[in-house]
Every structure is written in C-alpha cells, then in structure tokens.
Structure 1
Amino acid sequence: MKVDPAVQRKLLELADVDAELARVEHRRRTLPELAEVAEAEKAVQAKRDARVASDTTLADLDREVKRQEKEIDAVRAREDRDRGLLAGGTVSAKQMTDLEHELATLQRRQSSLEDDLLELMERREAVGLDGQHAGVELAKAEEALADANRRRDDVLADLDTTQARRDADRVRLVPGFPEPLLGLYERVRRNKGIGAALLRARRCGACRIELDRSAISRIASAAADEVVTCEECGAIMVRTPESGL
C-alpha cells in the first residue's frame, strides 16, 4: 500500500487522539472516586440502619413506659378507692381486714411497678442518647457521600470535556486518510490497541520492540510512500528522521 508520507505522519495525530480517548475510557471505568462512592453508600446505609434500629427500640420503650404508667395509675386508683372505703367506716370488720390486706398488696405492686418504670426510663434515656449519636453519625456519613459524589462528578465532567474535544479532533482528522490506510489502522487498533506509531531509533513505538537488522534493511529499502508495518504487533510504523534508518 502506498500513501503520501505526509498523510502517514498524520496518522500519528490520530493515534495520539485515540490513545487519549482510550485513557479517558479506562479512567472512567476505574475511577477511585467510584469505589469511594460505593463505600460511602454502604456507610450511609449502615448508619441509617443503626438509626432505624435505635428509633424502633425507642418507640418500643415509649409504648412500654406508657403501659407501665397506665398500670401504676390503675393501682393508685384502686388504692385510693380502698383507702376511701376504710376512711368511710361503712365496711364490716372482715371487709376492713380484706381491704387492709389488699392495700398492702397494692403498695407492694406499686413499688414493683415504679421500680420497673424507673428502669425503663433509664433504658429509654440511654437509647435516646444512642439515637442522637446515630443521627450525628448518619449526618456525617451522608456528608461524606455527598462529597464523594461531588468529586466523582467533577472528574467525570473533566473526562466528558476531554472526550468531546478529542472526538471532535477525530472527526476532523479521519476524512484526511484514504480508506485502505484507515481500514488497516482501525483493524490493528481494534486487535492490538494501537494502530500506528512512530518508528524511532529502530524501535517500534507501539510494541517497543527493537527491530532486527533484516527488518531495518527491509524498511530502509522501502519507498518513502510505502506503508510499513511492525512484524511483531502489526502496527503501522511511521518513518521520520528520528527512525534511525
């Protein structure tokens, strides 16, 4: 295949564009910010679960406190009624004995219920403090997630800008190449990653392998407009005064 040497040298511009586009795509897939966002999301979910668990426990304790208070009120009401009957002097001796026994039982019951209520209130206070701490930790985790998202979005925006610029460069360059040359370039690029490279100091710029004497002799004897390729990687080798031929 014969192509004007100036057109062949233009392939180096296209190869630079494609190399940067490949780097952009690789960077987009392997951004450390993506892993940071994923970890931050896990942290937020864990803190959110802790907050929900704390809120659920607190709600359960609130219900238990109300139930306990209601039971204490019922015992007190029963005790007030019995004391009222005793004070009224309208009950028989046997009823009085029964009321006094019941009052003693109610007092013991009230004391036990009040002890239980005190324990519940202490537990509720502790859980409430845990809930406040969980809320603070959740807020911190959400802030860290928002920061990770912002940094990821900033990097992606920069990559989008670079890709748009390089896509435009590619659209500008591609029409300048004859179809056979462009077809060869694209086939090699798809298979090997690099379609064309500079032959510098007798070394292929694509695979970095130094050519042997027979390859150098073959290339040196080829016409200036002859398209030459690397025997190792297949990339188009563009010759310039730097090639060392």
Structure 2
Amino acid sequence: MNAAPADQIRLLDVQSLDVRLQQLAHKRKSLPEHAEIESLTKDLTQLRDLLVAAQTEESDCGREQTKAEQDVDQVRQRATRDQQRLDSGAASPRDLENLQRELVSLAKRQGDLEEIVLEVMERRESVQERVTELTERVSAVQAKTDDATARRDAAQGALDAEAASVTKERELVAGSVPADLLKLYEKLREQQGGIGAARLYQRKCEGCHIELNITELNDVRAAARDAVVRCENCRRILVRTSESGL
C-alpha cells in the first residue's frame, strides 16, 4: 500500500486523538466518585434495612403497649364494679367475703399488668430512640450520596464535552486520510489494543518500543517515501518522520 508521507503523518494525528478518546473513556470509567457512590449506596441500603426493622419493632411495641393498657383497664373496671358492690353491702356475707378476696386478686393482677406496661413503654422508648438515630444516619448518608452523585455527574459532563470536541476534531482529520489507509489503521488499531499506527523515532517503534535492527532499518530506508511500512515486531503502521534516525 502507498500513501503520501503527509497523509501518513496525519494518521499519527488520528492516532493521537484516538488515544485521547481512550484516555477520556478510561478516566470517565475510573472516576473516584464511582467507588464512593458504590460504598455509600451499600451503607445506605444497610441503614435502611436496619431502619425498617426498627420501625417494625416500634410498631410491634406500640400494639403490645395498647394491648397491655387495655388489659389494665379491664382489670381496673372489674375492680371498680366489685368495690361498688362491696360498698353497697347488698350481698350475702359469703359473697362479700368473695368480693374482698377477688379485689385483692385484682389488685395484684393490676399491679402485674402495670409492670408489663412500664416494661413495654421502656422498650418502645428505646426503639424510638433507635429509629430517630437511624433516620438521622440515613439522611446523612443520603446527603453524602447526593453530593457524590452531583460531583460524578459534573465530572462526567466535562469529560463528555471534551470527548465530543475531540471526536469532532478526529472526524475532520480522519476525513483527510485516504480511505484504504484509514481502513488498515482501524483494523490494526482493533487488533493491537487501540494503537494502529506508531512513529518511528530514533530507530525505535513507538508502538512496541523496540528498536529496529540493522536489517529492518535498511528495509525501511530502501522503501519508497510513499510506501506504507509496517513494524516487523508489532505489525503496526510505522510512520517515518525527520526524527526517525534513518
């Protein structure tokens, strides 16, 4: 394949722009905010799970407290009715004696139930404090996540804008390179990890960074100026310039 020396040098410009696009893509993918957001999201998920568990426990405690208070109220009402019957004296001595015994039993039952109410209230208060703490922690981590997301989006936006500018420049430069030469370059670039053309600088291929031996140098020297030569080591297009050391 033949191509004017100027076209081959423009191919180096295309390669330089392609490298810049690769760098921008890598930088976009490697933004530190990605790892930060991933870590914060993991923390946020765990905290939300803990918060839901605490809220569920608080709700259960609320129902338990309501039930215990209803039990106390029922015992208290029964004791009030018994006391009224006892005070009225409208019963046989035996019934009055039974009422007295039942009042003692109800008083003990009421005391036990009130202890249960207090225990449940203390447990519920502790859980409510936990809910408050977890709610605050969730809000704090969410704020950090929002901040990291905003920073990531801003950084990505800047990189995308630069990539768009480089892509446009690349289209203009590539448009001035002969189609067959550009096609070969694209094929080699895909095969060779993104580098399809390299400068021959001081007798060394800048693609594989291997210095050409004397035989290879003589072959390059003997090639016509418009010949498209390839590196014998990496097979990339080898572009000659005034600094090639030939």
1:199 counterpart letter in structure 2: L
**Aligned equivalent of 2:220:** 219
Counterpart CA distance in 1 for 2:84 and 2:120 is: 31
Counterpart CA distance in 1 for 2:88 and 2:187 is: 110
1:174 counterpart letter in structure 2: A
Counterpart CA distance in 1 for 2:172 and 2:201 is: 26
Counterpart CA distance in 2 for 1:179 and 1:60 is: 74
1:223 Cα deviation after fit = 2.0
1:35 counterpart letter in structure 2: A
Normalised to the residue count of structure 1, the TM-score between the two structures is: 0.96
**Aligned equivalent of 2:180:** 180
1:32 Cα deviation after fit = 3.3
**Aligned equivalent of 1:23:** 23
**Aligned equivalent of 1:232:** 233
Structure 1, 94-103 or 138-147: larger mean CA deviation: 138-147
Counterpart CA distance in 2 for 1:27 and 1:234 is: 28
1:225 alignment partner, SS class: coil
Find out whether 1:77 has 2:86 as its counterpart: no
1:197 Cα deviation after fit = 1.4
Counterpart CA distance in 2 for 1:30 and 1:233 is: 28
Pairs within 5 Å for 1:43-122: 43-122=43-122
2:61 alignment partner, SS class: helix
Structure 1, 57-66 or 35-44: larger mean CA deviation: 35-44
2:238 alignment partner, SS class: strand
Structure 1, 32-41 or 228-237: larger mean CA deviation: 32-41
On the 8 A contact 2:11/2:174 being kept in 1, the answer is: no
1:36 Cα deviation after fit = 2.1
On the 8 A contact 1:37/1:148 being kept in 2, the answer is: yes
1:65 Cα deviation after fit = 0.7
**Aligned equivalent of 1:124:** 124
Counterpart CA distance in 2 for 1:30 and 1:232 is: 32
Counterpart CA distance in 1 for 2:72 and 2:59 is: 20
1:243 alignment partner, SS class: coil
Please list the CA deviations of residues 62-118 of structure 1 after superposition, one character each: whole Å capped at 9, or x if unmatched: 111111111111111111111111111111101011101100110010010011111
Counterpart CA distance in 2 for 1:103 and 1:171 is: 97
Please list the CA deviations of residues 174-197 of structure 1 after superposition, one character each: whole Å capped at 9, or x if unmatched: 221112211111111010021111
1:206 alignment partner, SS class: coil
1:25 Cα deviation after fit = 2.4
Counterpart CA distance in 1 for 2:117 and 2:158 is: 61
1:242 alignment partner, SS class: coil
Please list the CA deviations of residues 107-152 of structure 1 after superposition, one character each: whole Å capped at 9, or x if unmatched: 0100100111111111111111111110111111111211221122
Gaps spanning 5+ residues in structure 2: where?
none
1:142 counterpart letter in structure 2: Q
**Aligned equivalent of 2:133:** 133
Normalised to the residue count of structure 2, the TM-score between the two structures is: 0.96
**Aligned equivalent of 1:145:** 145
Counterpart CA distance in 1 for 2:49 and 2:157 is: 33
CA RMSD, 1 decimal:
1.2
Give the percent of matched residue pairs that are identical in Structure 1 and Structure 2: 38
Counterpart CA distance in 2 for 1:231 and 1:27 is: 32
1:187 counterpart letter in structure 2: K
**Aligned equivalent of 1:6:** 6
Counterpart CA distance in 2 for 1:37 and 1:108 is: 58
Counterpart CA distance in 1 for 2:161 and 2:60 is: 54
2:175 alignment partner, SS class: helix
2:210 counterpart letter in structure 1: I
Counterpart CA distance in 2 for 1:229 and 1:144 is: 53
2:199 alignment partner, SS class: strand
Give the aligned length. Answer: 245
